[in-house]
Copies of this chain bind each other. A is one copy, B any other.
Amino acid sequence: MRVYLAGPDVFLPEPLARAAALKAVCARHGLCGVSPLDALAGGDPVSWGGLGEAMRIARRNEAHIAGCAALVANLTPFRGPSADAGTVFELGFMRALGRPVFGWSNSAEPFAARSRAFCRDAAPVDGVWRDEEGMLIEDFPPLADNLMIDGAIAASGGVLVVRGVARGDAWRDLAAFEACVAEVARRLKG
């Protein structure tokens, strides 16, 4: 059963080694992990020949997702209180295909608290928290990220595994990932 591995893991210094580590965890649970770094079976369509590298990567990732039975997203916060934008896009994409989406994160802090900490001048106004530009800070504890993300995972029959780790281990520790993959295996095969 093919499972797409969404996440900013592709930005790590050794992205191929990371992809291999994630795939090894999947294999232990009887799943075939598909990395954004994998080539497409059959290669890129000829019609993509005129596209630049970024556009080809985007098309390839969409094709990989469409070829998988489920998606597992690394939702560890990335350059801000939310998950990586590319990862969130891919989660929304798979959700619209009607297949189960799963998430894991190495931050156990709820999204509301993380957002307040990020917006240094955040303050309560008439009972709700707002940032320095007056924009509302979404406050639905214990959601792990924007409600579209938690909502999609729950509605699709997936799970979101969060686990606090030491700061330097955010891009190393795979315990939450493995717990998530175990759930994927249980639910896809159940």
Partner-B contacts on A (CB < 8 A): 8, 10-13, 52-55, 57-59, 61-62, 78-86, 88-97, 115, 118-119, 130-131, 133-138, 140, 143, 145-152, 154-155, 170-171
- Nearest Cβ on chain B to A22's Cβ, whole angstroms: 16
Distance (whole angstroms) from the CB of A159 to the closest CB of chain B: 15
Number of copies: 2
Pairwise interchain contact A95-B93, C-beta atoms closer than 8 A: yes
The answer to whether A148 touches B12, judged by C-beta atoms less than 8 angstroms apart, is no
Instruction: Enumerate chain B residues within 8 angstroms of A149, measured Cβ to Cβ.
Output: 85-86, 89
Structural contact, B151 and A12, CB atoms closer than 8 A: no
A-B contact pairs, 10 of them (CB 8 A): A52-B140, A54-B143, A79-B118, A86-B149, A88-B92, A92-B93, A93-B96, A95-B96, A96-B96, A135-B171
